[in-house]
Structure 1
């Protein structure tokens, strides 16, 4: 091919390319076949380079086809934009913005298409030029954007920016403006800023620097708020609301037509204008707002300083101190009553917690900060308040919380009638999370669950299961294993009683007593062995029959009767009307003596029943007080156990009268109740020591040698999820293990322990 033929072909190709450019930028239809023709023309233009130029490896654009086409494209776009520019010279205000935005979007779209059919030019010549070190050559789309900047942007951007800021100013004055129009303009600024700093093939999403419009927006915003900031009065809640509202409005503007990255700069600007110089005043006012219960104003204040780390930290500390003091004051006010009133104690804490948690939620963005402060406060005061100090140990909180659960889950609770128990359970778990001695809670909860199940006073098996499930979620399966077994025993006992009735009918057993028996797994229930009792003859046949049945059902099973937890009904046959008395097994044994004789001496009664003396006197005293029995030697209504002598005469009171036909005499015995509480605390102390010793042994078996202080730290860390071990107790356990030769001190380093196990 001759040089003139080549030139002719290239001119012909350019004519077709320029015709395609015209159709593209005038938004005329461009079919897929026409698009591919343009792609081929660009390809042909690029590859028809003289052999001499290729061998010389020169960069003279005039002698290389790609360079010629690149130059022609650039001139075409510049000429096209200059014509557009003339059309907008006389436009003003929104008309100018609309002109700029519309032409930008059309031009950008068309340039994307042009970049597509010039793909080969980008891939071959443009990339080769960039690899050779040239920095004045760009991909076709980037080149098109730069051309827009040099022709249109440079001509109009100051005027366009000014109009945008005027519209924003109008919006601040509560006028309605076209925010979409501003957003379209800002998007062009952002993309132009990207093109200005880009290399050949940068991705537009990498742009991070602010556009000129964003810089101007921030500058104008700062100037706009200088005057209201000078009038700033932190003590007026209406002004706080206004400041927060202004900031929210500016955030909305950024979301409407600027980039989210501008928000950081806006926050800094608001911080400088409204906050930094007034921090001390803000702290003073925050304390006053909390002191006067103006919680919503405190939330507004928190929102206002949310971007200032120093301020939010200080306000969180102020909030934490305030809540702690409120809790301390509230518990001190009820201290005398709360130590024996779990409902008062727990609900006082819950009320304070709920109110301040609501405050934390209302703070929205600062919710996490205030929730952290609330958590720290609750953990601190719940385990060390006036009640725990009065009780002399930190376990009191766990005990009262367990007793509150018992109040909720026991039949006849007035709380059940007024509230949703599931919601109450959730509230209990809130406090439970802050309790250090979770093992103490478990021990008391287990004992009270046992009493509810044995006395058939549980409000519902479903509620019992629900509460246990919540405990399992917070702790682990092992924590609730015995509780679940107790519920299972209760359910299984119902089935076992049905089987016994069938067995009774099939074998035609002659029982004068209708009984229901609960069979409990001794590994799960915390009941101690009952005091000695000679079973009355009226009960013996029934108990023997059930024992025989159970032995046949459960080979190898052994029953131990827990008389202190048994009860039943007896009827008075000597009165008119006849009364039904609900009594404990011990009370029943005493009353049934009068089937043998109507007169007894105290000593003989105790000998016949073999009930432990102190317990027997307490039972007898109760029956005398209730006028079922009488003693000729006693006339004092204020009777005490010590007033009863072993030689006194006791007889049935034939004149017994009561307004109730069914009378409950099965009330907790003081001696038994006191013993249970003492046993519980003794069990807790013993279990703690066992757990501490086990943790020490586990740690030392792994470490073999360890410093004394580090061992104490590791033990505390291991056991803190169940209880917080006291350092003196840990030290005592270490000494015990040294005496037992599990551990020894290093001869030359007394602060280092070595494992001997």
Structure 2
């Protein structure tokens, strides 16, 4: 490089004549050359101001003399004068200088190869663009006047001085050597991918140069990414495709699928990180798509085939990795979701098959636990390995709905799952010797609702649950009022107010009954003599609304003991006085009580027998007689044999009564006497146990009631549809009825058709021409 003093001497120390283009350019060329080749030292302020002044003087001269004394104005027909004409000549001389300078630079570039060529290109780019910035300032007057005017007049080949440098570089260097430079860049990137250390700043500089060269032809003050996309992004992405295509094929040939997934994860992350290191954000989408295509899409069949093995072995980390990879490509996860759904369905079916190995009779708790275990396992898998993705949740739900409603237990009847779930809820909500913590109760209720969500015949669950709730409330066996309220709240959230309306009314009736009993107690104290109060049976009453409680009258006749008759008649008089016009129907089969056995004691404390009302009537007969025959008991109580035999049998098996002859049980001709030597380890002895025959009969009657309710619901839906539509095709009516019933139960087409025929007979509907049905108001 020449020193600043030398440059000044070469340029001269005096300004050239302002109207002499040759002298002016010669003076300026020396300064431009100094700036272009000696950026570190540049020119001093005095020289810079002389150069700037020379340009200003020349552009503002009124006339200029060209070489040989020819006026420049005559070359342009005399139509332009002043700065306009003079600026054009100065602009073209600078343009030619830049062209010549870049030709020399390109010739030097051609002497280098590979990384040396890349380094030279970068050095020259830095030198040339930095000089362009200085020269832009130097020619500021030209930019402000002549260049601006030319651009405003629509000239397409005129640029501001800095943009002229870029355009010159694009023509003189880039078009001739851009592809060669880019190949050198790609070789550097390949070295980086192979683990070698490179100067990433070099790639960044080349990229920036390609971006800077994207000059918008329509508006030269703006830039586009066209040059970058064509000459940098496209070859970079293509080279990436080729590199990873070759690497992935070679790696898979020698390694397991799991190791390949780990490798693919690392490569994808590396490419993403490189965008922030030396690329620009615009390349992210095409680059990552290329990587995903060759690393995942091209090998997705192999990955999907491996999925079933990972699923069978419960390799959750591997499945998580596979999910993360296949989620990157379009439709990459669909086959996985389908296989997952089939797998969960098989697992659920297998769990119930295993449960049935111990016999055909399935208890509610093991059954529900088996359903829950499968759901919990795969719900956890969906959350941890599949990121809780909604489509995998949908696949899980589809599989669970299938194995909950169509497993081996449900082969005889689709209503078995809701029935067993309701019974499981009943066991949970009943008092037991094992105390249930509040958190455990909440957790177990949530688990019940998990299975409830998949139950198709929700009307079956509702019917059984309401019957069992009724018994818990009436018999006082609920674990707590809060637990009952919470469970009903969960059912309401899941299925709506109408589904739980009767259940909530049952709770309200029990609260009303408590208040009524309190009022009755006050009434007794005010209206009965003390002797009558002491002699009266201590009783409490539950008043149940007929329309809300799923309870039926007893199927047997019954004559209650006189002590009980006097007690309930007194309450009945009180109640009818308070609520005129109401009728009480006594549900003796749901009543219970306690009797103190004063004839036999444990440690001087009389035993207390907890009994059904029927059992109480039997034992109270022994207050008047030491021995009572079977026929006398039947005549006194008027219980039918189906009810009497099991009620009496429990007492005999508990050895409270002795049967005569010995070994006899419950049959005509047998007589019974009190066992005076009765012993039991508890003071309170519970004899009010469920009778299996009664339970079976009750279940059968419940199913019959469900079928009857369904007929009414189907008919109501059909009438509602026809009332809205007036006329409708038969098949169309069937098709529209099904979705309106699905929230309650899974209807059969045959049942819908029968209901349509019934409505035709009842003249709610009429047949019109063809297959058309009409509504009769």
TM-score normalised to structure 2 length:
0.74
What is the Cα deviation at residue 705 of structure 1?
Answer: 2.5
Instruction: Supply the distance in 2 between the matched residues of 1:593 and 1:108 (Cα, whole angstroms).
Output: 122
Please tell me whether the aligned partners of residues 222 and 269 of structure 1 are also in contact (alpha carbons under 8 angstroms): yes
Residue 626 to residue 101, structure 1, CA distance change in 2 (3 Å):
farther
Matched, 1:656 2:681: no
Please tell me whether the aligned partners of residues 324 and 377 of structure 1 are also in contact (alpha carbons under 8 angstroms): yes
Give CA-to-partner distance per residue, 1:172-191, whole Å, 9 cap, x none.
Answer: 46689998x79976995796
SS at match of 1:729: helix
* Correspondence for 1:595: 623
User: Which of these residues, 644, 653, 666, is aligned with residue 625 of structure 1?
Assistant: 653
The residue correspondences of 1:39-50 to structure 2 (distance < 5 A) are none
C-alpha RMSD of the superposition: 5.1
User: Which of these residues, 611, 632, 638, is aligned with residue 610 of structure 1?
Assistant: 638
Residue 500 to residue 635, structure 1, CA distance change in 2 (3 Å):
same
Please tell me whether the aligned partners of residues 722 and 775 of structure 2 are also in contact (alpha carbons under 8 angstroms): yes
Please tell me whether the aligned partners of residues 185 and 203 of structure 2 are also in contact (alpha carbons under 8 angstroms): no
Matched, 1:541 2:563: no
User: Which of these residues, 437, 440, 456, is aligned with residue 460 of structure 2?
Assistant: 440
Matched, 1:334 2:359: no
Give CA-to-partner distance per residue, 1:172-229, whole Å, 9 cap, x none.
Answer: 46689998x799769957965875487689999x999957544344234334322243
SS at match of 1:680: helix
Matched, 1:343 2:368: no
SS at match of 2:333: helix
* Correspondence for 2:3: none
Residue 295 to residue 107, structure 1, CA distance change in 2 (3 Å):
farther
What is the Cα deviation at residue 410 of structure 1?
Answer: 2.1
What is the Cα deviation at residue 575 of structure 1?
Answer: 0.5
Q: How many residues align?
A: 685
Please tell me whether the aligned partners of residues 408 and 415 of structure 1 are also in contact (alpha carbons under 8 angstroms): no
Give CA-to-partner distance per residue, 1:684-715, whole Å, 9 cap, x none.
Answer: 10111111111111222222332222111111
What is the Cα deviation at residue 579 of structure 1?
Answer: 0.6
Matched, 1:520 2:544: yes
The residue correspondences of 1:99-498 to structure 2 (distance < 5 A) are 172=193, 188=208, 192=212, 196=216, 210=229, 212-225=231-244, 226-232=246-252, 235-254=256-275, 257-259=279-281, 262-263=284-285, 265-276=287-298, 278-309=299-330, 311-335=332-356, 340-364=362-386, 367-389=389-411, 392-412=412-432, 416=436, 420-498=440-518
What are the ranges of 5 or more consecutive residues in structure 1 without an aligned counterpart?
Answer: 1-59, 111-119
Please tell me whether the aligned partners of residues 215 and 223 of structure 2 are also in contact (alpha carbons under 8 angstroms): no
What is the Cα deviation at residue 152 of structure 1?
Answer: 10
Matched, 1:755 2:775: yes
SS at match of 2:759: helix
TM-score normalised to structure 1 length:
0.75
Residue 671 to residue 328, structure 1, CA distance change in 2 (3 Å):
closer
Instruction: Supply the distance in 2 between the matched residues of 1:481 and 1:624 (Cα, whole angstroms).
Output: 43
Instruction: Supply the distance in 2 between the matched residues of 1:753 and 1:141 (Cα, whole angstroms).
Output: 84
* Correspondence for 2:598: 573
Q: Is the radius of gyration larger for structure 1 or structure 2?
A: 2
Give CA-to-partner distance per residue, 1:149-182, whole Å, 9 cap, x none.
Answer: 7899889977996787677657646689998x79
Residue 326 to residue 652, structure 1, CA distance change in 2 (3 Å):
same
What are the ranges of 5 or more consecutive residues in structure 2 without an aligned counterpart?
Answer: 1-78, 135-143
Instruction: Supply the distance in 1 between the matched residues of 2:280 and 2:622 (Cα, whole angstroms).
Output: 96
Residue 660 to residue 717, structure 1, CA distance change in 2 (3 Å):
same
* Correspondence for 2:49: none
Give CA-to-partner distance per residue, 1:306-360, whole Å, 9 cap, x none.
Answer: 3444542222222222222222222212136585322222221222122222222
Instruction: Supply the distance in 2 between the matched residues of 1:519 and 1:537 (Cα, whole angstroms).
Output: 22
Instruction: Supply the distance in 2 between the matched residues of 1:412 and 1:731 (Cα, whole angstroms).
Output: 47
What is the Cα deviation at residue 660 of structure 1?
Answer: 1.5
